[in-house]
Structure 1
Amino acid sequence: MFSSPKILVSTPDACRQVLMDVEGFINGWPKAMVALTGPKSFVAIGYEEHHRLRKLITAPINVFDALTSYLPFIDRTIRSSLKTWSDVSVDAGCEVEFLIELQRMMFKIIVQIFLGCADDATMHATKHNNDHRKKWPYEEARLKVLSGQLGVPRLVGMHGP
């Protein structure tokens, strides 16, 4: 990070100019992330291929009818999670780590939408940890992979002329 010049932008107009420049803007993912996810993953492919694949993957779920069909499941999942959090905090007398539990709940919803099954077996197979007091192992790994050597998040870069 400190071995090459960097430019930081913070105003909305400057951010828009930098982030919307398709030709000059490049992905700034750490090499460890690309090695971990593979050369054909979303973080490693070029803009055109990424855009094409994103449209292909999100088209079936971005229509109104498809999203509406998930509302009952999302409602049940949120209600169930709130009840579980309440029971854990009252019965066990311990605190609930809101961010972790929120991530857990959202993960269940995402698995249901993309894989079509968010039952207990699927959650277990995807390393879903039912212990409400522990952090997910892959959350810790994700944070380590995305951070730089000094623990500073890496910045995306721009190629000059």
Structure 2
Amino acid sequence: MTDSPARTGTLDARYSRPDARPSAWAEVHATLETAGTYWLSTVRRDGRPHVTPLIAVWDGASLYFSTGDREQKAHNLAANPNVVLTTGDSALQGGFDVVAEGAAVRISDPDRLASLAQAWVDKYGEVWRFEVRGGDFWHEGGGLAGVYEVAPARVFAFRKGDDRFAQTGWRLA
């Protein structure tokens, strides 16, 4: 994916070196597509935050993750669908981090779920092969899991390193 006028980010000079340039959307896309682990932030009913690592797939426009209905994140999403998904490199002196904000929407269309199940296998291997059952994913090791789509409304990229610090933001439709 290449940058287009709609995908041109805005550099935030407050958190960037004076000579920094905005990060390219193509780098954001590549990071979201290839990341192994993401961190999902949700909000509990009482307002306390909840953060958990998980795996996800990116299709170029949305991130997808799954969770069992009895897990804390599923309870949180039922009350408040607004989430933040982050991924990147934990090193301070280098790397590239991405933060995606949006609302998580549960997906139940069997054809879409079948396509996403294959995307999980393509990215993570056979150990993450899901069956589609009744509008959910099913896995022998974990039972049923709802699948959620997050089409980011805002994305931030953080480039790190002594001579590279830059924060770029995008507002997406």
TM-score between both structures, scaled by the size of structure 2: 0.27
Question: Which one has a larger percent strand, Structure 1 or Structure 2?
Answer: 2
Tell me: higher relative CO, structure 1 or 2? Use CA pairs within 8 A at least 6 residues apart. Answer: 1
Which structure has the greater CA radius of gyration?
1
TM-score between both structures, scaled by the size of structure 1: 0.28
